[in-house]
Structure 1
């Protein structure tokens, strides 16, 4: 049974983070379900004040600390829910003097501080730091910049989590922020559990804006980058990475992070509705023979299977190779046929509408946009001639700079697919010049200047024709 995709998946690491996120989002035990591997997800909806619609949300818990665990869990979650955004929410250690206990950090950047190389030196060898850095995706950064938290809303969300505002453990004193304060900054992520304040401060040499440290953000971001997909990390500060860590602050920090999470989903994130799923093509191409028809049907079946695999995040390498082989068989002898596709399956060839010394023009359809276009395809026997091929593509590039009623607009210049070189133009209805002259549709005073006066515009009724002028 096909599962509807979710808009947002929230990844947590430990149980207090999971419980806080589920409560803040108003999810219930009845919303709980598991995937084929046994991973548990809580599903529900959050009303977005930005878009005016409900965002479908799911929350899961990794259960183990560390970047490898976070990366694997994030990849599984993306394959399971096919979301457009993934958020990591929970607790982290903070830089003393930069944040207070209970503050919430929205990551602008994640620095993976542990990558290094062991290089030869005069006295043996030395460790050379090679940190990696990843910035917040532009669209998500815009949502964060435009997000305006409200203290009263956040207080109500905290009350939803455990029925009362969390109180600090004895001894936290003035280091605990009395209310939720949100800061934007850089998070450092590695495999070391830091319990040394000097070690924490040393990380500031890698990036001056580091204000929090954790063990999951780098792996989480690496998983999101594969798609790519929008991501955000929300961390409540539970300690300062020293020997004075108090685990009783886990609940407070997790609750505050969860409150910000719920508030951001409702008042910060603005995801537009998903585009409609591509439907199986409605056009029946004209095949010249039974062999071509069978290959065409096999190609469509392979394309559908690749789409189904991609929707669940599965590997498509085998079916990709199958598609290449079928297309190669369809194009034996260098001939394109109605029903073939170009441009990584974007353009479906419908019928030839013109032919010249250099190229043929096909009427085609953009399969996603369902719009008619014209494809000008270089003759296969000329594709191996570098000079002619470059002249063909250079002409397309020049046409992109022209704007005139008598010149067809080039929509996509200089493409290649399976050895066929082509470019995409707008399709204008009309006909060819020869037929227009023979049928007497052009007055003599307009016909004569066409071959004799360079630069003379075509008649207005033939403007932007793909085969005239």
Structure 2
């Protein structure tokens, strides 16, 4: 693989989700973080993207911690969390794909004598990636895609009449799907500063008592493959930023001097502080990052 190649981090929770995305990535090689976290890095055909795949396991907190670690290590241009989810809407069926316009963390709130007061936590998906997704799915005949909020909760919802199901319908009634990791990954990307992020979920069940039967019929495999296909199509539409770099690479033109980085002759997508005359005239001297 070339030394300099734009980079994307694609995250999954389950082995079948990982396998579905992996099928789209060629020339893979494994890398291991010093803490033992493993990724496979390869090439998405017909694009300039270098893609790192990671299987993180279940849960929003775990996803947030590991996504932060992987962003710090690999410095990708964008992060996508891809996998399966349960439907929260009658018109969002098994095999459909939900692209998260925003993601809700559903457990935030305050318990009072009057009841539980919801304090919604919502993060938007990347506008650029969402636009790429809207364009990509137009060219995917037979695919039903929905652009809607997604709810994240540390619960496997298999009872549409349960208290948690009623809670979600009452307080997050525009959500089209429920899953367990998206809010953690989006929060990590948001706090990193300059990383686009999007959650893409294939629908494997209706988050009701029929979940076990749906899973046994192969619906999870179908949903994972649909989400992976949309992800690959999105990346074929999405364009790298100018000056973007490969995994673990610094922005082009960057040089180091102690605790400073000199970006003369290079491009840095982020806030820079320093003397205004140096920044305007390109005089000698390094500029520290905020």
TM-score, normalised via structure 2 length: 0.80
Hey, what does 1:32 align to over in structure 2? 30
Q: Is the 8 A contact 1:11 1:89 kept in 2?
A: yes
Hey, what does 2:13 align to over in structure 1? 13
**1:83-129 deviations in Å (ceiling 9; x for gaps):** 110000000011241211011111111111111112244xxxx3212
What does 1:110-121 correspond to in 2, within 5 Å? 110-121=103-114
Q: Does 1:61 align with 2:55?
A: yes
Structure showing the higher helix proportion among its residues: 1
Alpha-carbon spacing, 1:226–1:100, altered in 2? closer, same or farther (3 Å): same
Larger gyration radius, structure 1 or structure 2: 1
Separation in 1, partners of 2:6, 2:38: 15
Separation in 1, partners of 2:189, 2:10: 12
Hey, what does 2:265 align to over in structure 1? none
Hey, what does 1:108 align to over in structure 2? 101
**1:393-435 deviations in Å (ceiling 9; x for gaps):** xxxxxxxxxxxxxxxxxxxxxxxxxxxxxxxxxxxxxxxxxxx
Hey, what does 1:280 align to over in structure 2? 255
Q: Is the 8 A contact 1:90 1:235 kept in 2?
A: yes
Hey, what does 1:260 align to over in structure 2? 230
Q: Does 1:137 align with 2:126?
A: yes
Q: Is the 8 A contact 2:30 2:38 kept in 1?
A: yes
Stretches of structure 2 lacking an aligned partner (at least 5 in a row): 245-250, 263-267, 284-290
Hey, what does 2:64 align to over in structure 1? 71
Q: Is the 8 A contact 2:24 2:44 kept in 1?
A: no
Task: Give the SS at the match of 1:226.
Answer: helix
Separation in 1, partners of 2:27, 2:210: 34
**TM-fit CA distance, 1:148:** 4.4
Separation in 1, partners of 2:190, 2:155: 23
Moved over 6 A (4+): none
Q: Is the 8 A contact 1:98 1:211 kept in 2?
A: no
Task: Give the SS at the match of 1:203.
Answer: helix
Separation in 1, partners of 2:64, 2:185: 5
Alpha-carbon spacing, 1:208–1:127, altered in 2? closer, same or farther (3 Å): closer
What does 1:301-312 correspond to in 2, within 5 Å? 301-304=258-261
Hey, what does 2:75 align to over in structure 1? 82
Task: Give the SS at the match of 1:99.
Answer: coil
Separation in 2, partners of 1:256, 1:216: 18
Hey, what does 2:185 align to over in structure 1? 220
Q: Is the 8 A contact 1:5 1:83 kept in 2?
A: no
Stretches of structure 1 lacking an aligned partner (at least 5 in a row): 153-178, 282-299, 306-310, 312-342, 348-363, 373-469
Greater RCO, CA 8 A, separation 6+: 2
**TM-fit CA distance, 1:27:** 4.9
TM-score, normalised via structure 1 length: 0.51
Separation in 1, partners of 2:148, 2:198: 12
Hey, what does 1:344 align to over in structure 2? 273
Q: Is the 8 A contact 2:102 2:149 kept in 1?
A: yes
Q: Is the 8 A contact 1:108 1:185 kept in 2?
A: yes
Which stretch of the first structure deviates more once superposed, 66-75 or 143-152? Answer: 143-152
Over aligned residue pairs, what C-alpha RMSD do you find? 2.7
Q: Is the 8 A contact 1:7 1:83 kept in 2?
A: yes
Separation in 1, partners of 2:275, 2:206: 53
**TM-fit CA distance, 1:131:** 1.8
Hey, what does 1:270 align to over in structure 2? 239
